[in-house]
Amino acid sequence: MFQRRIPEWLRHAPTPGAKGFAVLSSIEAISRGILISVFPLIMYKAFQDTVVVSEIYFYVGIISLVCGLLVPWLTRYIPRRWMYSGGAVLFIVSAFLAIEGSPIAIALALFSYTVAVVILFVCFNAYVLDYVAKVELKRSETLRLFYSAVAWCAGPAGGVWLLQWWTPAPFLVSGLGAAVLLIVFWWMRLGDGKLITKARAPAPNPVAFLMRFFVQPRLIAGWLFAMIKSCSWWVYIVYLPIYAVESGLDESIGGIALSISNSLLFITPFMLKWIDRYSVRYAIRFGYFVGGVIFVIATFSAGWPWATVALLVFGTVFLILLDICAGLPFLMAVRPSERTEMSAVYSTFRDISGIVSPGVAWLVLLFAPVSAIFATAGVGMFAAWAVAGRLHPRLGVPKSKPAPATPIVTTVGEYEASEGTETTELSPTS
């Protein structure tokens, strides 16, 4: 008798790697990318006041921050696979709330969307740290951005176009993307991640692992880089569409500009080669300095709306460069025993930027026009450039390579580990 065997790829999903996580991230980008330019527009239409919109984003950011910090504690009672699934379901909930259309429902949709992003981000980074070696993190980040390029390129402009064609359309696409994300996630069988050691004590509460974060300078610096980069994107995504509408341009300009910016994700492999040629430290400093200059100039050109839009689009070239490298100082310093907890801390850069950006914008708008927010973001990038000057020059450079030929200044990469047995975790090539 002939025996029929179930194909291997059906019985066992492939071992997760950089490409697998890139695929997962690209599907998530469909749900996020289609709405990223839509939410500022529907919020502005619903409340008709930029200050009120900033205030709502501010409070949503605070609540989202608390939710993100609670994820590690919740995973003691809810397995990580169910936390990730819950985040995907929140995308679907957000879509249906937005379709309802009332101002309160739209605000709740924004909240659900934001919490979904932070839950998925915490769990995703914990999975990446479980399955991707540290030496592969640069490649993993580059593949993630490259695979997501189509969704981020077509999504923002496509979302605005669908909104103009039929209001529920972009939200239905987002909900469908979240459903596909759930299916692929369960097919990959990531489970609850790798078990490093059997727990001998209760999981630390949020305050405890925040204290562990604050005694590791590399983690603090890496978190600051990610947060300031996120603030710059936040300003571009939320306030460029509002600036365009107030300047008399079509409301689709913001979505088109973001799609053009996201199309640059296709060149991330070339950016990675450029980073490898120099160093992570040099790339971070270069990205923040040039990006800061461009954002400041955009404020002074506010009287010429098209010039301002063009400048800000050009400035996002350097934000995408930072998307590749700005988070690496943090990811390369995380200890295996703290993956879930530090992934939660790392994810707070999104929520803090969602609090700081509208909070600062709220204050700026009391005294200045919307365009002044661009210069404020530029000043923040200059601050990150200054901090990056203290990174170790060999950060992310393989041991076999010579030191990069870039200026060397005082470093933070040589800080001593707080626990002598884990000193190698803080070495610049770890």
| pLDDT at site 143 | 81
Do residues 234 and 357 lie in contact, with contact meaning Cβ atoms separated by under 8 Å? yes
CB 13 within 8 A of CB 189: yes
Residue closest to 163 by CA, chosen among 278, 231, 255? 255
DSSP for 328-352 reads HHHHTT--GGGHHHHHHHHHHHHHH
Query: Is pTM, for the whole model, over 0.85?
Result: no
Return the CATH class of domain 14-191+203-426. Answer: mainly alpha
pLDDT tens digits in sequence order for the chain, 430 residues long: 445 554 544 455 556 677 778 888 888 888 888 888 788 888 888 887 777 887 888 888 888 888 877 887 787 788 888 889 999 999 999 999 999 888 899 999 999 998 898 888 888 878 887 777 766 776 777 788 788 888 878 877 888 888 888 888 999 999 999 999 999 888 887 766 654 444 444 455 556 677 778 878 888 888 899 899 989 998 998 889 888 888 888 877 887 888 888 788 788 788 888 888 888 888 899 999 999 999 999 999 988 999 999 999 999 999 989 988 887 888 777 776 666 677 777 777 877 887 888 888 888 888 888 889 999 999 999 999 998 888 766 665 555 555 554 443 333 333 333 333 332 222 322 3
The pLDDT, as a whole number, for residue 307 is 92
Note the Cα 296 to chain centre separation in Å.
Answer: 23
**What pLDDT score does 134 carry?**
65
